[in-house]
Amino acid sequence: MEKRIALEKRGRPDEQITELILDNCRSTNIEGLTDSFKALEVLSLINVGLVSLKSFPKLPNLRKLELSDNRISNGVSHLTGSPKLTHLNLSGNRIKDFEELKPLKELENLEVLDLFNNEVTTTEDYRDKIFELIPSLKYLDGFDKEDTEAPSDEEDEVNGGGEEEEDEEEVELDSSDYDEDEENDISLADVYNDNLEEDGSDWNEEDGEVDDDIDEPTDEDEDDGEGDIEGETEGGAAGAKVVSDGEAEDSAEARGKKRKHDGNDG
């Protein structure tokens, strides 16, 4: 037991230790555990092989003591040196005499006591006597005076923290969805701007149009084009007019000759 205590301390001084778990370390008596552990609040000695509590130290701040599955038959009176004790588990031991338990009445803060699987539990009016002996006691062997089962530690944790954890998860999910949407918006804008730069197009904010790099015809080009078109049109018209005049002269000359012939005939 002494080696196990040294291991659990991890180099810390005795007066700074608040919890010691010494389960399954084999010892028939308390060894290495002294009054110097003044700050100790939780002590577990399950299945160690203890036969007595005669060497149990005075632990003024001890609140929870686990001594189940040992061979303890006497020395319970030494636990009165821990007046703040609220939870005491002595199940699976060899306590036979009810008189051995009477010193527990000095533990004015004791609320939970477990004596299950001890011979003393078979005595007449066992439960009534224990509740009468220890007025502060709320639960004996897992049940209160009305035989209502005591809530387990796991149930307390579930009832106490379940809803808060769910709320936190919802908040985290909502914030993650928001961030994801925000990132999507930014990425779309970046992609759009990149496409514009690659195409070489400039966005005209005033007109709301994209000006491509295409040479537009200038006013001079438009004038030259109109001149060519007008010249072609006028030339064609003039040519048509010349041809028409020639044809008209030929026709007049032909008509003169005809009149001349007609005069000779006369």
> Domain boundary residue among 128, 151, 174?
151
Q: Is residue 173 part of a domain?
A: no
195 inside domain? no
Residues 122 and 227 in one domain: no
Same domain, 24 and 137: yes
Verify that 137 and 235 share a domain, yes or no. Answer: no
| SS3 letters across the chain | CHHHHHHHHCCCCHHHCCEEECCCCCCCCCCCCCCCCCCCCEEECCCCCCCECCCCCCCCCCCEEECCCCCCCECHHHHHHCCCCCEEECCCCCCCCHHHHHHHHHCCCCCEEECCCCHHHHCCCHHHHHHHHCCCCCEECCECCCCCECCCHHHHHHHHHHHHHHHHHHHHHHHHHHHHHHHHHHHHHHHHHHHHHHHCCEEECCCCEEECCCCCCCHHHHHHHHHHHHHHHHHHHHHHHHHHHHHHHHHHHHHHHHHHHHHHHC
Distance CA 110, CA 121 (A): 18
**Average pLDDT over the chain, rounded to an integer:** 75
* Number of separate domains in the chain: 2
Cα separation, 4 vs 206, in Å, equals 83
Range(s) of the domain holding residue 98? 2-151
Is 193 part of any domain? no
pLDDT computed for residue 166 by the predictor? 46
Are 253 and 143 found together in one domain? Answer: no
Q: Are the beta carbons of 136 and 83 closer than 8 angstroms? A: no
Q: Which of 103, 128, 151 is the last residue of a domain?
A: 151
> In which residue ranges of the chain is pLDDT below 50?
154-184, 196, 200-203, 205-206, 208-210, 212, 214, 222-223, 225-246, 248, 252, 254, 256-266
**Domain closes at, from 104, 122, 151:** 151
Note the pLDDT tens digit of each residue in 210-243. 454 545 555 555 445 444 444 444 444 444 344 4
At residue 172, the pLDDT reads 47
Q: Are residues 15 and 146 in the same domain?
A: yes
The pLDDT value given to residue 127: 95
Give a yes or no: residue 91 inside a domain.
yes
The answer to whether position 95 is within a domain reads: yes
**Is residue 27 domain-resident?**
yes
CATH number for the domain that contains residue 75? 3.80.10.10
In a domain, residue 196? The reply is: no
